[in-house]
Homo-oligomer: A and B are copies of this chain.
């Protein structure tokens, strides 16, 4: 199996990307093809020891920055690591692509170069989110800010196929994020989404309020890219803020500091439970190829976990499953 990795993507590239790749190849029987500025990639790789035959390099002279216009990846920077990496998937022997770079650019490059799987109109980015018991697949978390009802319906199918193929879940259920449980709640588009899902979506269980997101109400949870992105970013910000406030409170009281030390393991377990980097990347679904978005601020561990998650998608032939699940609305 050969996984292509964007060596230049993310806030801490190529450093964190390469550290994560090195960890991954030690744990997995895969070859990683690093795409990026060759000198910089080699310099970074030279800091590590690793099984040489498991990492290869393909040079790409340009880099998409995090604040570049996403369409630059198609127009001004055609030879960037992201575009070169995505295009490799069209050649035999390359199984998947992982990038921690500019999300919009990744969506644009994947859609343009790989094309959509027939039957799906727009890609969606999903994420396996931790819940109190188990996990659920949330889609879309930022590929499509203005989805039409059919896009939401397609996301439901993509999510079901992911949960079936990768998580081995039979007959996954689907819920719609909305500001009230009852039919008829939310904005005009929320209502339209509800109606279409109610009519056609297998396993549809209705609206899910955001305060129920971490309870196991449905296996697949669909929403617009704006709402999904707010959910992910707010969760991140809130846990960070709570951590900051807790540390501040603890410092006021020596007994509490000692107590915190004694429960450090539990606090770490909590962090692990809510830390998205533990769960690997966010699959970009709907395109003709396995593409994984890793967090822009990815640590080496997050990159490693994203590669693990990508390997699972390859093993479970997620694209063939998506093609077979193709739906017409």
Which A residues form the contact surface with B (CB < 8 A)? 67, 131-132, 142, 145-146, 177, 179, 182, 186-188, 190, 209-215, 224-227, 229-231, 233-242, 244-246, 249-250, 252-253, 255-267, 269-270, 273-274
Contact = CB atoms under 8 A, between A and B. Distances in A.
A146 to B, nearest CB: 5
A246 B270 contact: yes
B249 A270 contact: yes
Contact of A259 (B213, B229, B233, B258): B258
Nearest to A274: B242
A52 B175 CA distance: 50
Contacts of A241: 131-132, 214-215, 274
A211 B187 contact: no
Contacts of A230: 177, 179, 210, 227, 230-231, 234
A256 B265 CA distance: 8
A266 B238 contact: no
Contacts of A260: 259, 263, 266
B210 A237 contact: yes
B179 A225 contact: yes
Contact of A249 (B234, B236, B266): B266
A146 B189 CA distance: 9
Contacts of A258: 259, 262
Nearest to A261: B259
Given A245-B132, A262-B256, A233 B269 contact: no
A270 B245 contact: yes
Contact of A132 (B146, B177, B212, B244): B244
Contacts of A240: 211, 214
Nearest to A179: B229
A265 B231 CA distance: 29
Contact of A211 (B182, B214, B233): B233
10 A-B pairs with the lowest CB-CB distances in the bound complex, closest first: A259-B262, A211-B237, A259-B263, A214-B241, A249-B266, A256-B263, A210-B233, A145-B187, A210-B234, A259-B259
A267 B244 contact: no
A213 B265 CA distance: 28
A132 to B, nearest CB: 5
Contacts of A270: 242, 245-246, 249
Given A190-B145, A227-B227, A267 B246 contact: yes
25 contacts: A131-B241, A132-B241, A132-B245, A145-B190, A179-B229, A210-B233, A212-B237, A214-B238, A214-B241, A234-B238, A238-B274, A242-B242, A245-B270, A245-B273, A245-B274, A246-B266, A249-B266, A249-B269, A250-B263, A250-B266, A255-B263, A258-B259, A259-B260, A259-B263, A259-B266
